[in-house]
Structure 1
Amino acid sequence: MITIPYLTALTTYFSYGLLFAFGQLRDFFRKIIDWWSHNTLQGYAPICLGLEDFYIRRLYLRIQDCFNRPISSSPDAWFDVVERISYDNNKTLKRTTKVNRCLNLGSYNYLGFAAADEFCTPRAIESLKSFSASTCSCRVDGGTTKLHAELEECVANFVQKPAALVFGMGYVTNSAILPVLIGKGGLIISDSLNHNSIVNGARGSGATIRVFQHNIPSHLESVLREQIAEGQPRTHRPWKKIIVVVEGIYSMEGELCKLPEIVAICKKYKAYIYLDEAHSIGAVGKTGRGVCELLGVDTADVDVMMGTFTKSFGSCGGYIAGSKELIRYLKYNCPAHLYGTSVSPPAAQQIISSIKVILGEDGSSRGAQKLTRIRENSDFFRSELHKMGFEVLGDNNSPVMPIMLYNPAKIPAFSRECLKRNVAVVTVAFPATPLLLARARICISAAHTHEDLKRALEVISEVGDLVGVKYFPAEPKKPQPEEGRAKVE
């Protein structure tokens, strides 16, 4: 639960209220002008309706230069950001030929595999020559190569499950799998801050959906007990199936799931567990095997393990791991497998190679070094942000660090001022977060050096003072011992 300072909440409400009032006033005059000039499509209903359209036109477009920034290099620790300019108050943006070399604090390149790698890149290039860039087919037709079979075996061994199934897109892995696992007469109990892909998958399943308070196992238990006692709506028959859906690391909060407590509750009430490890697999745990390894949970106690390859592995796609019976069922019934284009062969080879590096099967210790570095980088950066007085969400070990901004005017100010200083950050606002909880989301990589992080902290501290987002008093700096001076009596 995020507790917003009273004055901050008040000024944020006032800012949005002011923007809303002036926006509505401008819309009123626009309607008069359109009516006078007959500049409307007679007989056509508006395609875009509601406050969402109003938000996009009157709020989002004013700050759209802070989003969708094009880059012209690999998303390494530093990357090239293409400059954009606008001649019509940000309604449209035009790219220029100028690029700025910026410190990358926005990409999910947790282990640094998104850039050229001495082990992964040559093998990915070789697979491109052998298999081409795409299979041009779904898995059940001509889209399964020996790389896909090797990848599924590799993933199953890595997450310590009997079998796995891979998909061409991470988002689709959630949104297409849940409707296959459960339907009408079933119950999905979802964490209140689960990713949009989970929300859409749950809605598309036709099952009844109940939500428990974010990462609070006691509330999950009370919801489970209540729903089991009441049964299905109207008929009160027993539920055909109950699935509890949680994430390993919550992408907008940077918090670790309280998995041991949730597993114990699900065992007690005979509910299945669906674990989304998009941001945790490869990034946490002694050998990078995710929150189960980090928190000491037996993978046999998690029924469905989902993850993506777009973060720690520097590739694309997603996977589902579980029992052999589950994977066989999905192969016969999941539309994302039956009709979706299979993972690109070079992308599949990139995943296989990166897993081998993580496990040390490339003959080096680089994988272990990357895991150590991302853990040290994350904990150091989070600690320093706290000391500076920022309100930072999340837990230690997590490479995701949201810095709370709150006020709508501070969203573009923070982003633009950081970019001026050649530090690229991602700001997140409504509808990705609640209206009052805008934030800048920092993603740390093993590719960042200590000097990179110190540079980023200097810039963020400077911009934080300028914009006014240090909501807590900074810790006094400890005096450093002087070296190289003779003691004078």
Structure 2
Amino acid sequence: MLLKMPDAPAEDRPPEEVAELEFGKLTSTDYLYVSQHPAGQPYPNPVEDDPPIFIYIVTYLSYLILIIIGHIRDFFGKIFRPEAYEHLVEKDGYAPWSDGFESFYERRLKERIDDCFARPIHGAPGRYIKCYQRIKMGINKYQYTGGSDECLNLSSYNYLGFGQSKGTCTEAASEIVDSYGTSGCSPRDIVGTTDLHQQCERLIADFVGQDDAILVSQGYGTNAFIFECIADSKTLVLSDALNHASTRFGVRVSGASVKVFEHNDMKSLEKVIRNAIAQGQPKSHRPWSKIIIAVEGLYSMEGDMCNLVEIIRLKEKYKCYLFVDEAHSIGALGPNGRGISDYFGVDPKKIDVLMGTLTKSFGATGGYISGSQKLMDRVRVDYATNVHGESVPPPVLAQIISSMSIIKGDLNPGEGALRLQRLAFNSRYFRSGLKKLGFIIYGADDSPVIPLLVFLPAKMPAVSRKLYDMGIALVIAAYPATPIVSGRVRLCLSSALTKEDLDYVLEKFSEIGDLIYLKFGSGIPGQTKKMNIQEALAGNVEMCKQPNFGLVKA
């Protein structure tokens, strides 16, 4: 079976047709699903499938060979081409920015496949994404042709497809420029607060189920400085091993002590809590002033979710506070799109601090912090990004307000629910198809983030370049963002994609998997052999709607 790639949008098409191609038309109501964990059932942590042991061996050997060759090239390069290494040695009394050892990985490994990581784009990152054409002329050197390639977009965080150049949100953002301008031109605590900011914060607080919320103009900065407000040297933060770098940075800046528990492991978390309570603070052994558990709702590199029900149980048992980073889960999970608490049917007020970003499901920028009124009143006067950072621009506020109102159903009733259900179906359908084809996939069934493991370093550029040539844009993730032996393709699904788009991508993945030997997964329960594309697509609509279809033991 040969599937036809859907038509890409052209510049000379009517605006209505461009809008439709930025957000694909739903062809059947069968292609909808509600993202929700069954009430009262324990959360089954996804079981990570493992490849044959020789894949690990060959992966380590591949890196070893690359490292040896890189050091040999450095040794002779410093003798015969010393000018190429001037930036790595002291010059005119100035210390180098980095030495050869520190920059080795970037120079000798990453830069050789940099074309897979940093492709400049233009236009709206909807169903399709436009990538500038360029020719690699050497390490980190490109010649741009002036043209662009339109590819199916499986690479951006536009989960609900609100990042459009046409539509209700775009019109709202455009209209607000006429009355508010393009920028607040000031931090919030000076003259940067408008009625739009206050309206948006009330809307966010209501949406996430908290008393109040604070808007921040940058997602990373949301986490980077919030811990300064809620933690000090007498505070202990218990951090999941896979928490985002912004959370880890924020904890360090606050001066709080930190202990790490194994990723999503409730036994490890409880053990760390008990030991921390028993031992108290270092040296003095006095009790901690407070203990904060920090987790993410949806882990962006692994594609799995925190076990929120169990974490809340431990939090209440040991009188800890709970901080949840909902950067990827807010707007993408739950029957109402209200994040991880909505997905599990948990009262959000059992979470002390809810953080989220607006750059993903809402098609905007920035982030928010939400919690009780008492906490927000305190944070509002001491939050560095609120006191010193630029306020969120009015057009962005209009984008947030309009997209969130659509999700809630206050604006364009029915559209928000349709987008949520399309995302849930697409995530499960694509994940199920990849598993049936024999790929190793990490994460939870309902996660729109789907990591596909490739392991060997040479296979990462092979997958990226071949699929790009087939009209599919995706993201490669490798060390140090992942462990060195688990390089992966990180696929981000969107409600803008149609089932027909996903069928085309599955077919091309199947071809690549056969070509470079990527199909070493154990499939789905009851699967006795690796399926071809026809077998994988047959019955996949029904299969993906079954609970826990993706729980496979290696």
Range class of TM-score, shorter chain = over 0.9
- The amino acid across from 2:373 in the alignment is K
1:15 aligns with 2:62: yes
How far apart are residue 478 of structure 1 and its match?
Answer: 7.8
- The amino acid across from 2:152 in the alignment is L
- The amino acid across from 1:65 in the alignment is D
Q: 1:119 touches 1:362 (CA, 8 Å); kept in 2? A: no
- Matched residues, number: 480
* Pairs within 5 Å for 1:350-369: 350-369=399-418
* 3-state SS of 1:7 partner: helix
- Residue aligning to 2:547: none
Residues of 2 paired with 1:478 and 1:188: CA distance? 45
How far apart are residue 37 of structure 1 and its match?
Answer: 11
- Residue aligning to 1:74: 124
* 3-state SS of 1:228 partner: helix
1:474 aligns with 2:474: no
Residues of 2 paired with 1:403 and 1:269: CA distance? 37
- Residue aligning to 2:239: 190
Instruction: Rate the CA distance shift 1:389–1:132 in 2: closer, same or farther, 3 A.
Output: same
How far apart are residue 50 of structure 1 and its match?
Answer: 5.8
* Pairs within 5 Å for 1:12-161: 12-33=59-80, 41-49=91-99, 51-88=101-138, 90-161=139-210
How far apart are residue 167 of structure 1 and its match?
Answer: 0.1
Residues of 2 paired with 1:255 and 1:428: CA distance? 16
How far apart are residue 122 of structure 1 and its match?
Answer: 1.1
Residues of 2 paired with 1:355 and 1:43: CA distance? 55
Instruction: Rate the CA distance shift 1:364–1:35 in 2: closer, same or farther, 3 A.
Output: closer
Residues of 2 paired with 1:463 and 1:343: CA distance? 43
1:270 aligns with 2:312: no
Instruction: Rate the CA distance shift 1:6–1:22 in 2: closer, same or farther, 3 A.
Output: same
Deviations 1:401-437, CA, capped at 9 Å, x for gaps = 0000111111111100110101001000111111111
Instruction: Rate the CA distance shift 1:478–1:202 in 2: closer, same or farther, 3 A.
Output: closer
1:297 aligns with 2:346: yes
Deviations 1:302-359, CA, capped at 9 Å, x for gaps = 0000000011000000001101111111111011000000111101110000011111
- Residue aligning to 1:227: 276
Q: 2:297 touches 2:306 (CA, 8 Å); kept in 1? A: yes
- Residue aligning to 1:452: 501
* 3-state SS of 1:369 partner: helix
How far apart are residue 4 of structure 1 and its match?
Answer: 5.2
- The amino acid across from 2:350 in the alignment is D
Work out the percentage of aligned pairs sharing the same amino acid.
44
- Residue aligning to 1:284: 333
Question: Which shows bigger deviation, 252-261 or 91-100?
Answer: 91-100
Residues of 2 paired with 1:230 and 1:5: CA distance? 42
Instruction: Rate the CA distance shift 1:36–1:51 in 2: closer, same or farther, 3 A.
Output: closer
Residues of 2 paired with 1:84 and 1:382: CA distance? 31
Instruction: Rate the CA distance shift 1:38–1:402 in 2: closer, same or farther, 3 A.
Output: closer
Q: 1:65 touches 1:84 (CA, 8 Å); kept in 2? A: no
Q: 2:433 touches 2:536 (CA, 8 Å); kept in 1? A: no
* Long gaps (5+) in structure 1: 482-489
- The amino acid across from 1:453 in the alignment is L
Residues of 2 paired with 1:464 and 1:426: CA distance? 17
Residues of 1 paired with 2:538 and 2:284: CA distance? 71
Residues of 2 paired with 1:336 and 1:272: CA distance? 22
Instruction: Rate the CA distance shift 1:286–1:233 in 2: closer, same or farther, 3 A.
Output: same
Instruction: Rate the CA distance shift 1:446–1:479 in 2: closer, same or farther, 3 A.
Output: closer
1:325 to 374, 379, 383: 374
Instruction: Rate the CA distance shift 1:412–1:479 in 2: closer, same or farther, 3 A.
Output: closer
TM-score scaled to structure 1, two decimals?
0.95
Residues of 2 paired with 1:267 and 1:51: CA distance? 47
Deviations 1:109-167, CA, capped at 9 Å, x for gaps = 11000013532111110111211221111101111111100000000000010100010
Q: 1:245 touches 1:275 (CA, 8 Å); kept in 2? A: yes
Deviations 1:46-78, CA, capped at 9 Å, x for gaps = 211364410000011100011111111100011
1:402 to 438, 447, 451: 451
* 3-state SS of 2:134 partner: strand
Residues of 2 paired with 1:226 and 1:198: CA distance? 23
Residues of 1 paired with 2:335 and 2:537: CA distance? 35
* 3-state SS of 1:94 partner: strand
TM-score scaled to structure 2, two decimals?
0.84
Instruction: Rate the CA distance shift 1:93–1:184 in 2: closer, same or farther, 3 A.
Output: same
1:390 aligns with 2:390: no
Question: Which shows bigger deviation, 354-363 or 373-382?
Answer: 354-363
Question: Which shows bigger deviation, 114-123 or 235-244?
Answer: 114-123
Deviations 1:339-392, CA, capped at 9 Å, x for gaps = 000111101110000011111111421111111111111110000000000001
Residues of 2 paired with 1:458 and 1:377: CA distance? 15
* Long gaps (5+) in structure 2: 1-46, 522-528, 540-554
- Residue aligning to 2:300: 251
- The amino acid across from 1:312 in the alignment is S
Residues of 2 paired with 1:475 and 1:261: CA distance? 37
* 3-state SS of 2:137 partner: coil
- Residue aligning to 2:52: 5
Q: 2:290 touches 2:320 (CA, 8 Å); kept in 1? A: yes
Residues of 2 paired with 1:356 and 1:416: CA distance? 39
How far apart are residue 462 of structure 1 and its match?
Answer: 1.2
How far apart are residue 199 of structure 1 and its match?
Answer: 1.1
Instruction: Rate the CA distance shift 1:139–1:436 in 2: closer, same or farther, 3 A.
Output: same
